[in-house]
């Protein structure tokens, strides 16, 4: 499984019959500024202490941040911890806003 997906793949996954968990690893102020509906906020610094209690190792987890760097690090860490279906959204919410949904504010 690839470590990254693009925003077109994210859009298709969210519209599927069994959508993935969309894990937003940005800070709360970023999430309040711009977010994708149905996403779950778990700031990057909290992932190690919350992942095993709140995430299902067998479920698809798509990780989102501002531009894709934090999400790539978190997806990599999750995969190393046994969350084999964790993937990062390349380009982050900024790219989502440019390509998929311009109503999501850019910052």
Cβ atoms within 10 Å of 20's Cβ, excluding its own: 19
Helical H runs in the chain?
A: 7-14, 28-33, 47-54, 69-80, 92-99
Q: Which residues carry out catalysis? A: 65
Q: Enter the DSSP assignment of 67.
A: S
Backbone angles phi, psi at 32, to 5 degrees: -70, -30
Residue showing tokens 């209690």: 53
> In which element (H, E) is residue 4 found?
strand 4-5
């Amino acid at each position: 499984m690839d470590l990254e997906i693009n925003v077109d793949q994210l859009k298709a996954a969210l519209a599927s019959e069994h959508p993935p968990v969309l894990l937003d690893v940005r800070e709360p102020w970023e999430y309040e500024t711009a977010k994708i509906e149905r996403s779950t906020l778990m700031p990057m610094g909290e992932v190690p202490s919350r992942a095993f209690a709140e995430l299902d190792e067998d479920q698809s987890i798509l990780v989102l941040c501002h531009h894709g760097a934090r999400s790539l690090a978190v997806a990599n860490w999750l995969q190393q911890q046994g969350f084999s279906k964790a993937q990062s959204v390349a380009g982050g919410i900024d790219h989502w806003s440019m390509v998929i949904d311009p109503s999501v504010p850019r910052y």
